[in-house]
Amino acid sequence: MTDEQLSAFRRRVRAWLSSADIPSLPDDLDARFAVLRRWQRDLYRAGLLGLTWPPEWGGSGLDSRYQQALIEELVNVRAPQPAGLIGLDVVGPSIGRFGTERQRSRYLPPILSGDEIWCQGFSEPEAGSDLASVKTTARLESGTYIVNGQKVWTSWAHVADWCALLVRTSVADGRRGLSYLIVDMRSRGITVRPLRQISGDSEFNEVFFENVTVPASNLVGLPGDGWAIAMDTLSHERGTYIGRRYAEVSAALGDACDSLAEALGRDQAAVPERLFETVGEAKVAEQVLHAQAVATLGRSVTSGASPLDSVDKLVLARTEQDIFESLRSLLGPFLNECGETAWGLRSLAVGRDYLYGRAASIYGGTSQIQKNIVAERLLGVPRD
């Protein structure tokens, strides 16, 4: 792919966006999700989803620079990302790689179109960082798996049609007894209980499985392949996310700087001196994130998952939290006052970004776990 082809692609996206019906997002999470789902259908009809998926999965077979270009063009006009990111970025590629032909043709097209939404059922109350301790069982009886157990922190389970579920199919110790099942979220015996987050949203859930029946044909790979496939899924979550999040964080900081500049123009005396230092620090953090995202993009054009994805995850968590902490510090006590404005910054937007940023060092594997990976797999430090 040449630079000229990439520029032509950017022009095509800009032209489409200039006449697209770009939605604004309601504060209410469920209403927001419905809007994002419609937006995904629009992006799909415009041929802008599955850019890096191979054509045999219904994708465009382009490299990751195209995906990043799309993300940036969307962010530039403050258009949102599509609703079904777990399917598009995380679970879909694993089904493409490890699934059967029947599974690929059944599940991948509706992931692209947004007709079906996925969730990822890995974490359990006693198995988060240590996924090898998963206890949810799937017992095979006459061609059907019977699933029992509990998952937690399952993002979007309350709106999902399907779940990529990590289950124990054998009493074999640890990772060797794990398998990867595709579960219909409307099956009898599934109970979804939303959990309220610090931001006030209920994006993730507890999910209970009581004698849920799943056809054996919904197994991805072979019994016992669950660990390898789950690691593939997590590597997408760790690796591909940085470019998307960089664009969003950078846009949020850009908007904040615009508001601050406007406030400064109105009343220079009212603006505290520390503002310049704070914004400067946030801008430096943004540049660090940018450098990391560019390096990752270059690497992902030529190679797949790598322990370097853990470095990305660490840099992303640290810089995202630093940037939003800087903006939060400018709001001071106004942060907790819904709808208040200080130095031109809106408390609701800054507060939500700041609180969501706290999750960056937890989801997709905590920062401590990423440091373990870096120590053992990149630096060769012996396991403790």
Question: Does 369 contact ligand FAD by CB under 6 A?
Answer: yes
Separation between Cα atoms, residue 376 and residue 380, nearest integer Å: 5
CB of 242 to ligand FAD, least distance (A): 16
* 72 catalytic per annotation: no
Among 372, 374, 375, 376, binds ligand FAD (CB under 6 A): 372
Question: Does 368 contact ligand FAD by CB under 6 A?
Answer: yes
CB of 340 to ligand FAD, least distance (A): 26
Question: Which residues between 303 and 362 bind ligand FAD (CB under 6 A)?
Answer: 359, 362
Question: Does 96 contact ligand FAD by CB under 6 A?
Answer: no
Both tokens of 176, joined, read 């060797």
SS3 assignment, position 367: helix
Question: Does 240 contact ligand FAD by CB under 6 A?
Answer: no
Residue type, 323: I
Instruction: Choose the stretch contacting ligand FAD; rule: CB under 6 A; options: 206-214, 270-278, 304-312, 368-376.
Output: 368-376
- Give 213 or 366: the residue with its C-beta nearer to ligand FAD: 366
- Give 53 or 153: the residue with its C-beta nearer to ligand FAD: 153
Question: Does 208 contact ligand FAD by CB under 6 A?
Answer: no
SS3 assignment, position 26: coil
Separation between Cα atoms, residue 259 and residue 49, nearest integer Å: 33
Instruction: Choose the stretch contacting ligand FAD; rule: CB under 6 A; options: 38-46, 185-193, 321-329, 366-374.
Output: 366-374
Question: Does 155 contact ligand FAD by CB under 6 A?
Answer: yes
Residues 116, 124, 237, 286: which is the catalytic one?
A: 237
Among 113, 170, 213, 366, binds ligand FAD (CB under 6 A): 366
Long-range contacts of 274-283 (CB under 8 A, 24+ apart): 275/330, 275/343, 278/326, 278/327, 278/329, 278/330, 279/326, 281/322, 281/326, 282/253, 282/322, 282/323, 282/326, 282/327, 283/253, 283/257
Number of residues located near ligand FAD, criterion CB under 6 A: 19
Binding flags for ligand FAD, 119-138, as an x/- string (CB under 6 A): xxxxx----xx---------
The helix (H) or strand (E) run that includes residue 275 is: helix 274-302
- How do strand 162-168 and strand 118-121 relate by DSSP bridges? parallel
Separation between Cα atoms, residue 166 and residue 334, nearest integer Å: 43
Separation between Cα atoms, residue 296 and residue 41, nearest integer Å: 28
Instruction: Choose the stretch contacting ligand FAD; rule: CB under 6 A; options: 99-107, 115-123, 291-299, 313-321.
Output: 115-123
Separation between Cα atoms, residue 149 and residue 178, nearest integer Å: 14
Tokens 């009809």: give the residue.
45
Question: Which residues between 178 and 207 bind ligand FAD (CB under 6 A)?
Answer: 204
Q: Are 87 and 116 in contact (CB under 8 A)?
A: yes
Q: What residues pair up with 119 in beta bridges, in sequence order?
A: 163
- Give 81 or 120: the residue with its C-beta nearer to ligand FAD: 120
CB of 130 to ligand FAD, least distance (A): 6
CB of 372 to ligand FAD, least distance (A): 5
Which CA distances in Å does 78 have to 19, 146, 246?
14, 45, 14
Query: Which residue has its beta carbon closest to ligand FAD?
Result: 128
Which is nearest to 163 in space by CA: 239, 238, 86?
86
Question: Does 209 contact ligand FAD by CB under 6 A?
Answer: no
Question: Does 154 contact ligand FAD by CB under 6 A?
Answer: yes
CB of 305 to ligand FAD, least distance (A): 17
CB of 12 to ligand FAD, least distance (A): 33
Q: Which residues of 80-96 are buried (b: 16+ CB within 10 A; e: fewer)?
A: bbbbbbbbbbbbbbbbb
Q: Are 123 and 79 in contact (CB under 8 A)?
A: no
CB of 27 to ligand FAD, least distance (A): 18
Question: Does 363 contact ligand FAD by CB under 6 A?
Answer: yes
Give the interface with ligand FAD as residue ranges (CB under 6 A).
119-123, 128-129, 153-155, 204, 359, 362-363, 365-366, 368-369, 372
| Residues taking part in catalysis | 237
